[in-house]
Chain A
Amino acid sequence: DAGITQSPRHKVTETGTPVTLRCHQTENHRYMYWYRQDPGHGLRLIHYSYGVKDTDKGEVSDGYSVSRSKTEDFLLTLESATSSQTSVYFCAISASNLPHSEQYFGPGTRLTVT
């Protein structure tokens, strides 16, 4: 199994509070991704990173920011959580961004915004 951990695994927070989710990898892969998974939508890309301090927006980036200060850690921050951000968040890593490359996923974080 790819060495990817996510923390916390579950979180309940109130609307308007800041939330930070952490993804940690031990594979030294260059590419890291944050997705959200919602019923009827599959997984949608929020942000991704192609190296330390190199990040870019994905399909659903509004309301989210990311940071990557070390190869092994990729943080996702919700500056002011809203109920629409209730979801399951998955981190993924990849050694390459070539079209055939495999992404390895973490176990997910279930976030509930009340």
Chain B
Amino acid sequence: TQLLEQSPQFLSIQEGENLTVYCNSSSVFSSLQWYRQEPGEGPVLLVTVVTGGEVKKLKRLTFQFGDARKDSSLHITAAQPGDTGLYLCAGYETGANNLFFGTGTRLTVIP
């Protein structure tokens, strides 16, 4: 059983479109992180959200942590080909010291 489920698993869109990626769990997390991974490389941290209901923006990327701290979303506005990659959510379950990763969403932005 996967602790963190991401949807969709694959997403292919045209440049300029908007998209949302979801990260869901039945567990409560003390924090959630979003990483981006490019082929042949390790994941790189984009953002950490800590407070339920928190919204963080990173240029065209908007991250939200659910009020109950069980889910998170990543919204990309006006996607660009440079946004192509594997997006991973990861969280520290409340009381745990290890990071659990979601299943990942592979995004392709077509020029």
Q: Per a CB cutoff under 8 Å, which of B40, B42, B45, B50 touches A102?
A: B45
Indicate if B66 sits at the interface (CB-CB under 8 A).
Answer: no
CB under 8 Å from chain B, chain A span 19-76: 35, 40-45, 48, 58-59
B88 and A42 contacting across the interface, CB-CB below 8 Å: yes
The number of inter-chain residue pairs (CB within 8 angstroms) is 54
A58 and B98 contacting across the interface, CB-CB below 8 Å: yes
B44 and A42 contacting across the interface, CB-CB below 8 Å: no
CB distance from A112 to the nearest CB of B (A): 15
Q: How many residues of A contact B (CB 8 A)?
A: 23
Of the four ranges (under 10, 10 to 19, 20 to 34, 35 or more), the interface on chain B belongs to: 20 to 34
A99 and B103 contacting across the interface, CB-CB below 8 Å: no
Which chain B residues border A105 with CB–CB below 8 Å? 42-44
Q: Per a CB cutoff under 8 Å, which of B30, B42, B88 touches A107?
A: B42
B99 and A103 contacting across the interface, CB-CB below 8 Å: yes
A sample of 17 cross-chain residue pairs with beta-carbon separation below 8 angstroms, ordered by A number, consists of A42-B102, A43-B43, A43-B90, A44-B101, A45-B99, A45-B100, A59-B100, A90-B42, A99-B50, A100-B31, A100-B50, A102-B33, A105-B42, A107-B40, A107-B41, A108-B40, A108-B42
Known: A90-B43, A100-B48. 5 other contacts (CB 8 A): A4-B42, A42-B88, A43-B43, A45-B99, A102-B48
